[in-house]
């Protein structure tokens, strides 16, 4: 059964989380949970595996391509292979084979599963849920881009009230505050306003999606870049110019790196400026919604962060109303985003349920926090390594449990070895126990133990029954 040279690395785009890294992940997740809970959101989890019928057609063509699909098994695989039909080369295209050989896939985001859950169960009318789980996308892996990554979502279903938008935005801003983020921006826009601006610029319906994608890149490729891309996508120059004028004139966007040159700042001023150029009722309604939303956000902890960003488009997903994104200074891309999606639950054909949500990406938060030294000292490992010499292993086990019963995180050196070697191990990489406890014959006979702070060298002999309290003093750097 020996198989030399099996790779022991995780597959491409996958990661192992060793204890120190996992401690940082768990630290962030615990804060996210606490803050979302305080904002009245309930936890939900959905399965890793979903039917492809649930997933396909929800994420655009590129999304469908990036889905992980599970190969059919046993009889189902046999049937699929037979169904592929008379042997010929025609069916041998990935598309046809994919369709025949898989009918389940891996969760691609947390929003579509939520929509399925809302369609399936009797839930509270206003279902406020948070969900923190991994998703899988077979994207080309790159720096900071993984194929398995965690999303932390909050959503509210069942209401068209803008209070729901304000609540998800405030919850996300409060998470970021709790994690120590300060100068971030909550960029807001509205899908219908984007559509109306394009209409006002004379861009026809057929070019809308293409224009959306180009505009969405403003923060990456700049004004000139967007104009080039609009031209490349076949949008007439004067329409492109008009659209860029609307977006830039409104002074709405002040995202990092794009200087503001004209007009008064602030989202209200931007909305007032753009209103003059919008005539269609849907666009005006979108403006009114954004104005109301700004008012609600200003009453919440999200207030200082709000920024109208008329170039924000949020890809081609399922959004129907207000859209949001979190931008952090000196970081390309966003920490998360969201928006209103009133039609997604209805796509399951059971009931129409409006919804709004916000998703933040755990990996990006971790990268920024790490780079900027935002983590507190996190203690993961044992607080104490129990070292022993000349006593029976049974006694060692018994003492270890006496110490654990006093609440200490205790590791036992598992083998007979010289004391120096054991103490050295306490300080080894990946162990780093701040304290050692030494149990020898004399200590045992007296019902005592020697506690040693490995950093300060401070040491003391105490009754085993009192070791918990003494250890805590030493851990805090005190003298005993």
Q: Is 373 in the site for its own copies (CB under 8 A)?
A: no
Q: Is 338 in the site for its own copies (CB under 8 A)?
A: no
Of residues 309, 330, 324, the one with CA closest to residue 360:
324
- From first CA to last CA, the distance across the chain in angstroms is 55
**Region 379-398 residues binding its own copies, contact defined as CB under 8 A:** 380-382, 393-398
Which residues partner with 407 through β-bridges?
none
**Region 76-105 residues binding its own copies, contact defined as CB under 8 A:** 77-78, 81-82, 87-89, 92-94, 97-98, 101-102, 104
Query: What H or E segment, with its residue span, contains residue 307?
Result: strand 306-308
Q: Is 378 in the site for its own copies (CB under 8 A)?
A: no
Three-class secondary structure of residue 64 per DSSP: helix
Three-class secondary structure of residue 427 per DSSP: coil
Of residues 451, 384, 443, the one with CA closest to residue 412:
384
Q: How many CA atoms lie within 13 A of 441 on its CB side?
A: 1
* Minimum CB distance to its own copies, residue 155 (Å): 13
* Minimum CB distance to its own copies, residue 369 (Å): 18
* Minimum CB distance to its own copies, residue 194 (Å): 19
The pair phi, psi for residue 352, each rounded to 5°, is: -90, 125
Stretch touching its own copies by CB under 8 A, among 11-19, 189-197, 449-457, 459-467: 11-19
CB nearer its own copies, residue 149 or residue 181 = 149
Stretch touching its own copies by CB under 8 A, among 19-27, 196-204, 261-269, 460-468: 19-27
What is the spatial distance between Cα 149 and Cα 109, in angstroms, rounded to a whole number? 10
Strand-pair category, 69-71 with 102-106: antiparallel
Stretch touching its own copies by CB under 8 A, among 40-48, 184-192, 259-267, 268-276: 40-48
Placement of tokens 């391509």 in the chain: 65
* Minimum CB distance to its own copies, residue 478 (Å): 22
Q: Residues 6 or more apart from 386 whose CB is under 8 A from it?
A: 396, 399, 400, 403, 410, 411, 412, 413, 436, 437, 439
Of residues 418, 86, 230, the one with CA closest to residue 438:
418
Q: Which of 27, 31, 126, 368 binds its own copies (CB under 8 A)?
A: 126
What is the spatial distance between Cα 435 and Cα 387, in angstroms, rounded to a whole number? 10
CB 469 within 8 Å of CB 435: no
What is the spatial distance between Cα 323 and Cα 194, in angstroms, rounded to a whole number? 11
Stretch touching its own copies by CB under 8 A, among 164-172, 232-240, 307-315, 448-456: 164-172
What is the spatial distance between Cα 117 and Cα 110, in angstroms, rounded to a whole number? 11
CB nearer its own copies, residue 10 or residue 477 = 10
**Region 128-147 residues binding its own copies, contact defined as CB under 8 A:** 128-129, 134, 136, 138, 147
CB nearer its own copies, residue 54 or residue 309 = 54
Site string for its own copies, 257-296 (x = CB under 8 A): -----------------------------------x--xx
Q: Which of 313, 413, 436, 451 binds its own copies (CB under 8 A)?
A: 413
Site string for its own copies, 418-447 (x = CB under 8 A): -------x--xxxx----------------
**Region 294-323 residues binding its own copies, contact defined as CB under 8 A:** 295-296, 298-301
Would you give the DSSP letter of residue 353? -
Stretch touching its own copies by CB under 8 A, among 167-175, 241-249, 282-290, 456-464: 167-175
Q: Which of 15, 199, 233, 275 binds its own copies (CB under 8 A)?
A: 15
């Amino acid at each position: 059964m020996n198989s030399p040279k099996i790779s022991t690395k995780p597959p491409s785009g996958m990661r192992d989380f060793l204890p120190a890294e996992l401690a940082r992940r768990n630290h962030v997740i615990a804060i996210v949970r606490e803050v979302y809970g305080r904002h009245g959101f309930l936890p939900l989890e959905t399965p890793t595996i979903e039917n492809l019928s649930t997933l396909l057609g929800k994420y655009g063509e590129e999304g469908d391509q990036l889905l992980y699909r599970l190969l059919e098994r046993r009889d189902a695989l046999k049937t699929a292979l037979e169904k592929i039909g008379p042997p010929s080369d025609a069916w041998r295209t990935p598309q046809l084979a994919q369709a025949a050989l898989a009918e389940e896939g891996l969760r691609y985001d947390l929003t579509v599963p939520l929509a399925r859950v809302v369609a399936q169960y009797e839930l509270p009318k206003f279902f406020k849920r948070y969900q923190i789980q991994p998703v899988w996308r077979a994207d080309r892996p790159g720096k900071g881009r993984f194929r398995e990554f965690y999303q932390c979502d909050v959503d509210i279903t069942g209401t068209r009230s803008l209070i729901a938008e304000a609540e998800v935005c405030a919850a996300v801003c409060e998470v970021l505050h709790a994690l120590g983020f300060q100068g971030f921006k909550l960029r807001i826009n509205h899908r219908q306003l984007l559509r109306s601006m394009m209409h006002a610029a004379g861009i026809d319906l057929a070019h809308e999606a293409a224009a959306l994608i180009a505009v969405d890149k403003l923060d990456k490729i700049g004004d000139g870049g967007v104009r080039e891309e609009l031209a490349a996508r076949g949008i007439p120059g004067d329409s492109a110019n008009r659209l860029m004028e609307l977006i830039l004139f409104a002074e709405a966007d002040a995202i990092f790196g794009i200087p503001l040159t004209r007009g008064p700042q602030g989202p209200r001023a931007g909305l007032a400026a753009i209103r003059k150029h919008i005539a269609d009722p849907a666009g005006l309604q979108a403006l009114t919604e954004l104005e109301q939303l700004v008012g609600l956000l200003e009453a919440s902890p999200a207030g200082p962060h709000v920024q109208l960003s008329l170039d924000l488009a949020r890809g081609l997903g399922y959004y129907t109303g207000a859209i949001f994104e979190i931008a952090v200074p000196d970081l390309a891309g966003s920490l998360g985003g969201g928006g209103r999606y009133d039609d997604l639950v209805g796509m399951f054909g059971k009931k129409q349920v409006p919804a709004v949500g916000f998703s933040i990406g755990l990996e990006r938060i971790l990268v920024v926090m790490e780079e900027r030294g935002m983590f507190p000292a996190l203690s993961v490992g044992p607080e104490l390594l129990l070292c022993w010499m000349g006593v029976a292993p049974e006694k060692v086990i018994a003492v270890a449990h006496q110490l654990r019963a006093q609440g200490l995180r205790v590791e036992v050196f598992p083998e007979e070895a010289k004391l120096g070697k054991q103490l050295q191990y306490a300080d080894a990489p990946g162990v780093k126990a701040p304290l050692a406890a030494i149990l020898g014959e004399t200590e045992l006979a007296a019902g005592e133990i020697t506690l040693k702070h490995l950093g300060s060298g401070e040491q003391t002999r105490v009754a085993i029954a009192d070791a918990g309290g003494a250890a805590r003093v030493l851990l805090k750097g005190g003298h005993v």
